[in-house]
Amino acid sequence: MYAKCDTLLEARLVFESLPVKDVISWNTLIAGYTEYGPTPKVLLCFEHMQKANVQPTVVSFTCCLKACGITGAIGKGRRIHNVILQKGWEFDISIGNTLVDMYGKCSSVQEAHQVFDHLSTPGVAAWNTMMKGYGLIHDSKKALSFFNGMLGQGVKPNSITFLCLLLTCSHNNLVAKGQEYFMMMIEQFGIMPSSDHFCCMADLFSRSGSLIEAEKFLEALPCSPSKDICMPLLSACRMHAEIDIGHKCFEELVYMDPDCASSICFNVKFTC
Alpha carbon 111 to its chain's center: 18
pLDDT for residue 11: 95
Cα separation values, 190 from 145, 168, 181, Å: 22, 21, 12
Respond yes or no on whether the N-terminal peptide bond of residue 40 is cis (omega within 30° of 0).
no
DSSP 65-95: HHHHHHHT-HHHHHHHHHHHHHHT-TT-HHH
State how far the Cα of 101 lies from the Cα of 95, in Å rounded to an integer. 10
* pLDDT mean for each 10 residues of the chain (272 residues): 93 95 96 92 94 94 95 94 92 91 93 93 92 89 95 95 93 91 95 89 80 73 67 68 66 62 51 42
| Global confidence as pTM | 0.78
pLDDT for residue 271: 42
Q: What is the pLDDT of residues 114-162, one digit of tens each?
A: 999 999 889 999 999 999 989 888 899 999 999 999 999 999 999 999 9
pLDDT for residue 217: 73
pLDDT for residue 37: 87
φ and ψ at 144, to 5 degrees? -75, -25
pLDDT for residue 265: 54
pLDDT for residue 110: 94
Please report which residue ranges of the chain form alpha helices under DSSP H: 8-17, 23-36, 40-51, 58-71, 74-87, 93-105, 109-117, 124-136, 140-152, 159-171, 175-187, 195-208, 211-219, 227-240, 243-256, 261-268
State how far the Cα of 193 lies from the Cα of 124, in Å rounded to an integer. 18
